[in-house]
Each structure stands twice: as structure tokens, then as C-alpha cells.
A and B are shown apart, each in its own frame.
Chain A
Amino acid sequence: MANKRIDEATGVETVGHEWDGIEELNTPLPRWWLWSFYACIVFAIGYCIVYPAWPLLSHGTEGVLGWTSRGQLASEMNAEEARREPIMEALAATPIEKLPDNPGLMRAAIEGGRAAFKVNCVQCHGAGAAGSPGYPNLNDDDWLWGGDLKTIETTLIHGIRQPGDDQTRFSQMPAFGRDGILTSQQIGQVTQYVQSLSGKAKPNAAGAQIFADNCASCHGSDGRGMRQFGAPNLADAIWFYGGSPAAITRQITTPNHGVMPSWGGRLDPATIKMLAAYVHSLGGGEDFEEVAPQAENASATETHEQP
């Protein structure tokens, strides 16, 4: 097997193996290498004593330091909590209308809101807050109940049609078809009229009359909606439950009434402010108006008086 021999050039014995004429000298290791090997063993023993190391039947050895990766995570989370505490306190103490006056706090609120949104809101509104039919898109400039910071905060706290919250936002469109208020012919006429409001169909007089009698009280005589009732703007390009004639007919016949939970009891006020700031920052946020402006903005002003 092993054919050990003395290499002529060096006088050192070979290890006795040969690969295509190549042989290896059995050169001794340096002694210090041996000592560093022993040092590694000593280190390993020390490590086993100090840190958790050996798995046992029910639990592992704990190590005299008492260190655990969970414990480290907890302490890092506590440190992060402590770092955020002044921000959260400032947020809790700042009325949301005053938030834009403090750009640093506003930025912190938006970033915090981005994280809280991922946990609490994406299930309905989507990761990009773009919603889907029946779940509002929060990026656009169309708001059912209003898009300024204070209004968004109110919607967040009390939700929409949340049973058990007496301040929740509530609106109910009658089921014109199912309850026999309008005939299916009338529904067809008003559907065409509603489409005409955004230029997608020709206006028709019969539909206009039905609209004035049945719809204008909430959606406005021009169909531009009313925020105090959460009545959608029917004259723009954005449709909550779909803009096709079939979808509009369905909504008039048997309306959908979506529910948003009230978050006031689940999240702390600072987190709700952060969420409001984040949603407001998505590109459609409206300015908060403190004094009643012109008549055309009357509905927007009234929204602020919402309970």
C-alpha cells in the first residue's frame, strides 16, 4: 500500500501515496499550530460553559451568561421602543391638524404609518393601498368621506358601518330594485343617466327625472356626491363598485354596503395618527381647511363637523 520513501532532494520522508508521479512530503506541522489547535479546544469548552450549547431531552444547556437569542431580540426591541418613545409621545400630544406644522414628526408619522398599514390595512386595501372593487383606492384624489388628515383620522377611529360604534360613519343606499321602489325599466333609464354624468352615455330626460326624484338628495343634483353622507361622486372617472352599466344596475338594484372596522379600540391614538398621515401622503391627501370657505366647498367643511 503506502510506499514511504525518503525524498532525495530534501531528505524528508514522503507520505507514501503517489498521484501521476506527484508525491507529497511528510513535512511536520509547526508546533505553534498545535498550540493554536489546543487553544481552539479551550475556547470551545469555554464557549460551551458560557453560552447555550448542548441540546438535552427537554431543553438545552443554558450557559452561565444566561444569553438567549430571544433575549437579545427582546432587548433590541426594547431599545428600539425606547428610541421611539419620545416620537410616540409627541405624536400622542399633537392634534393631527397640527402635524403638518412639524415636518420631522410628520415624516416619522408617515414612516410609522407605512409599517402599521402593512400589518392592519393591506388585507382589504392591498399592499399598495390601491384597493379593489368595493375597497377604496387610497392613492387617488376621490374620497367618500373626505381626504384631509382630521377626516381620515375620524374614519380610522370609528370605521364605516361598524356595529356597536355609535359614531361610526353610516350611509345606506336604498335597494331601489329589490324593494320595488323603481321598476327595472326605470333602473335602466337612470343607469344610462348616471353614465352620462361622466360622458359615457347620452343624457336622457326620463333618467334625469328619476335621478332628481330619487338620487339627488344624497348624490347631489349634479351627481357630484356629498361627503357628509358618504355618497360617491358619480360624475368622475372613479367607480367604487364598477362603472359598467351592469355594475351600476346591480348597485341600484341591490346595493353593496361595505364595512370598515373601527380602529379606535384596537390601535393606540398615536398609531392611528401615523396611519392617517401615511394614507394622506399617498398622493390624494387634501388640505385641512379651518375656516369655512366658499359655498362650493360647503360640503367639505361640513365633513369636519361629522361626529
Chain B
Amino acid sequence: MNSPEPLAVTSNKKGAQVPEPVLYAKREPVFNRRIDGPFRRFKWFIMAVTLAIYYITPWLRWDRGSYAPDQAVLIDLAHRRFYMFGIEIWPHEFYFVAGMLIMAGIGLFLVTSAVGRAWCGYACPQTVWTDLFQHVDRLIDGDRNARFRLYKAPWGPSKIARRLLKWTIYLAISFATGGAWILYFADAPSLFRDFFSGQAAPIAYVTVAILTTTTFVLGGFMREQVCIYMCPWPRIQTAMLDEKSLIVTYKDWRGEPRGSVKKAEKSPDSFGDCIDCGQCVAVCPTGIDIREGPQIGCITCALCIDACDRVMKEVGRPRGLIDYATLDDCKREAAGETPRPVWRSLLHPRTLIYTGVWAAIGLALLFALGTRSRTQITVAPDRNPPYMLLSDGSVRNAYTVKLRNMESRPRDMEIALTGLPNAKMWSDDMPREEAVRAMTRKVPADSTDIVRLYVVAPDGTPAQEFSFAVHSLDEKGETDSTETNFEAPETSE
């Protein structure tokens, strides 16, 4: 590669120092320092909760009787079923999943509106796994300075050994990450056994291999590059944040001009609170300097708040030089007004509107879930030919009827003709002589009974609408019906 060194400096015509434009920038490695504080502890807590949910969920059992799987959360792609505790979703009920995805989307808007990029800072898998991998770095290579020294050190046996050890741990974590993912798509205990005895489906191994690789690369090496260059969410957030959004802010009117404690002692009143110790930069997992203002690299994890508060306490100055604040509050505070309490910033109209929309969708989904029927009928009339004249002059129409029994037990269901007087029906597994107005079908557990029905009406019956009605012959007595057409030749009489 014959590219210019970054920051090569030349002069332009006016004589000012202009950096030569560089086309490509090398990633600056981040060696973030260990820090403790309320936000760090909160991050530990979130990490524990999210990882626990991720790893424990597939192992939870849920009794659904002998006709359905007993895994509490299962995305059964092969059988087109989605199980979530007491809820079972069929493919035609996918709007529940769509509704949940919309809620997740609006939920992100809501969180952004209320507390800024909290998703990025605490709950995003990229953040959680990067955090995890950075702890591995610390465990193997030591804290910030040790890691920096090792990075600069020439490759030798000890560095190679440390790197190999670290990458092995990366790989183990990555494998555990990708491995747990597939457990959501099949019975976890048997898949786990099959996987390690080489019996699982090839797609299981391929999925694990892909997810292991992505975790290893994105969590182990790409890290903040994902947030800055690859993820669309920070870009969207830059459009969504406004002066009323809670962000991590350096209060420059209080901190500037920066000066060390010694300088400040020598000439009081000429320096701000910032002692320029660089701790906020040292602890940052994305390697930015928060004092440069809001920027795309800031995931608002608030570790710099922990670091700065600790320093302020040591030098005996009030905490909150770097703090969660809205830009509006910053202006107010800079103008000497008393800062509003943080919770006030949560209650601005945009947040309330998002909350309302989010809750409305949630309530609508809950209502739909509570009132949905587990018995369903759909009908597809034969279109070619639309009707059929029989030798006795009567008119026959044919229908493909689907009866859905969405309960995990076999049920008897009765299909009946509603309307179309004098008409009778028979199925293709019985003779026409036994045609009836209502018939009982045995529908197996959790499945669809597809039956071809012939409906026959006497000569002269005009084309008209009628319905197939179904009701389950059990204690629930669920009903459903669907309207369809009976076609007949045009009568000239």
C-alpha cells in the first residue's frame, strides 16, 4: 500500500496548516480502563439480565399436553408454529408477530425520545458482547496501560501465547452465542444432544458456524466500528434526537477552560471544573472524547459519568460535570437557572405520544389475543368449472374447505350450510345418497382438516350467497363461518 500517512501536514496557498486528505483511516484501537460506579453496576445488571434471558429461555418447559412440544418458547419453522408460553401462533396469525415487531420499533423510538440512545448504551447485543469481550481483554492482558503496552510490544512467544489464549476465549464465547441461537428453533435438550453427537441437521451446524464467526469478528475485533460505520440505528438516532432528548453531555460552561488542580490552585477563577485528567476518554468503550460534544460514536453508556464523578469527588468538586441532560436543560443551566429534575425531561409530548401509540398497539394485540377463536373455517370455491349440471337436472358446486383446529387436542367439529334452502352437501369420501345439511368431522390436534365438499341444489336454484358455519363440539363451543357463492346457470324462466 502506497497511501500517505494519516495527518501528513502540508500548506495551502494561504499558508494555513491543512492536513493532507487521507482516503482511508486505520482503526484506532480502544483500551478502555476499568471503572466502577452506579452506571457501570447498572450495565452489569443489564448484561446479566439480557444474557440470562438469552441462554435460559430455550430451556424453559411448558406443558401443552401430548400433541404439542413442551418448549416454552419455540419457533417451529418446520411445522409453521410459533410457541410462546401459553400462546401458540399459526402462520395466518402472523399479524401478532408483525404487531410485536411494530411495538419493538416504536418502543425504540419511545426509548430514544425519553432517554436518548439507551438501547445503544445498555441493551444492544453489539454493546453487551463488546463489553463482554473487553472484560476478557482485561482478564487476559490487564487494564488499559498493560493492554496498550502489549499492543505496542513486538510479537514474541509471550504475546503470541496471550493472543492465542484470548482468541480462544473469544471463540468459546462466540460459539456459545451462536450455539444458543439454534435452540430457539427446535427442542432444546434433544437438539443439544444431537448437535454434539453429530446428529443434528446440517443447517444447525451452518447457522452456528455463521453466528460464531460474526460474533467473533464483530464482538472481538470490529466493536465500535459496527456502531460508527455499519449500524443504521445511530444514523436514525441522529435524526430522532432533539434538544429535549436526554443525552450524555459534558457541561462545557462549567468545565472550560480546563486546567489541572495545581494550575487552578495557582490562579483560581481562571479555570473551570474540568481538570483535564482524561479519565472520561480512558473509560470510553468506543474511544471518543465526550468533551467534543454529542457525536455518533457516543453510545451513551454513561461510563464517562462514573469516571468523572469519581474524579470530581476526589478533587472535592460537585458531581455531574459530565451527566445525563437535555440540550435545553444545558442552555438553562448555562444561563444560571436552576436545573430541572431529570424526570421532567421524560414527560415531554413526543414521549407521551409514543407511549400512547405503543400502548394502544399493545392493548389491541392483547385484546385480539384474548378474543381469538381456536376454530376456523376457510373456503375456496372451485372456479373451473364454476358449477356443474347433474343428470337429474340439479346444480352442483364444489368447495375446498379448510377446518383449522388450533387447540392441542383432537376435536369434533360440525360444518353446516347456512342459507341456500333445499341444498345438501356431501364430502368426496362419502356417497351422494348420504348428503346432509350438517356433518361432523374429526379434526386431529393442532392441524387443518382439508375436505372437498359438494353442495347440490335442485334445478332452478338461482346463484346466491350462502355460508359455511362451523362449531366445535366441545365445552368451548367455538364458532366461525365464512361466506361464499353458489353459482348456477342463468335461468330464463
Contacts and interface: CB of A to CB of B under 8 A. Distances in A.
B391 interface: yes
Interface of B: 6, 16, 18-19, 21-27, 222, 225, 229, 382-385, 388-393, 396, 398, 428, 431-432, 454, 459
B444 to A, nearest CB: 15
A130 interface: yes
A137 B388 contact: yes
A59 interface: no
Contact of B27 (A30, A129, A142, A236): A30
Residue from the set B24, B27, B222, B229 with the largest chain A CB neighbour count within 10 Å = B24
A283 B454 contact: yes
A127 B384 contact: yes
Interface string A1-22: 0000010000101000000000
B389 A30 contact: no
A237 B384 contact: no
A236 B23 CA distance: 88
Given A28-B23, A128-B382, 19 more contacts: A13-B21, A26-B21, A30-B24, A31-B25, A31-B26, A31-B27, A33-B229, A128-B383, A130-B384, A130-B388, A137-B385, A140-B390, A141-B432, A142-B391, A236-B391, A237-B389, A237-B392, A238-B389, A283-B428
Contact of B391 (A11, A29, A127, A233): A233
Interface residues on A, range: 20 to 34
A33 B21 CA distance: 17
Contacts of A127: 384
B393 A237 contact: yes
A167 interface: no
Interface of B is mostly: loop
A130 B454 CA distance: 15
A29 B225 contact: no
A128 B390 contact: no
Contacts of A281: 428
A76 B24 CA distance: 47
A28 B24 contact: yes
Contacts of B16: 6
Nearest to A103: B429
A295 interface: no
Nearest to A287: B431
Nearest to A236: B391
B454 A32 contact: no
A11 B454 CA distance: 79
Contacts of A28: 6, 21-25
A52 B352 CA distance: 58
Nearest to B19: A13
B25 A30 contact: yes
A306 interface: no
Contacts of B22: 28
B390 A237 contact: yes
A13 B389 CA distance: 82
Interface string A92-135: 00000000000000000000000000000000001111100000
A73 interface: no
A245 to B, nearest CB: 15
A127 B386 CA distance: 12
Contacts of B432: 141
A56 interface: no
12 contacts: A30-B26, A30-B27, A31-B25, A126-B385, A128-B382, A128-B383, A139-B388, A140-B389, A141-B432, A237-B392, A237-B393, A287-B431
Contact of B385 (A30, A128, A238): A128
Interface string A203-237: 00000000000000000000000000000010011
A197 B222 CA distance: 89
Nearest to A143: B391
Contacts of B24: 28-31, 33-34
Nearest to A110: B428
Contact of A29 (B19, B25, B431, B454): B25
Residue from the set A129, A281, A283 with the largest chain B CB neighbour count within 10 Å = A283
B5 to A, nearest CB: 12
Given A26-B21, A30-B225, A32-B225, A236 B392 contact: yes
Contacts of B428: 281, 283
A28 B8 CA distance: 14
Residue from the set A28, A137, A236 with the largest chain B CB neighbour count within 10 Å = A28
B394 to A, nearest CB: 8
A238 B27 CA distance: 84
Contacts of B398: 139, 283
Nearest to B395: A237
A72 B382 CA distance: 36
Contacts of A126: 384-385
Contacts of A129: 385
Given A30-B24, A283-B428, A140 B388 contact: yes
Contacts of B389: 140, 237-238
A6 B16 CA distance: 10
Q: Shortest 6 CB-CB distances between A and B: which pairs?
A: A128-B384, A130-B385, A236-B391, A237-B393, A28-B25, A142-B391
Contacts of B383: 128
Contact of B23 (A29, A32, A233): A29
A6 B18 contact: yes
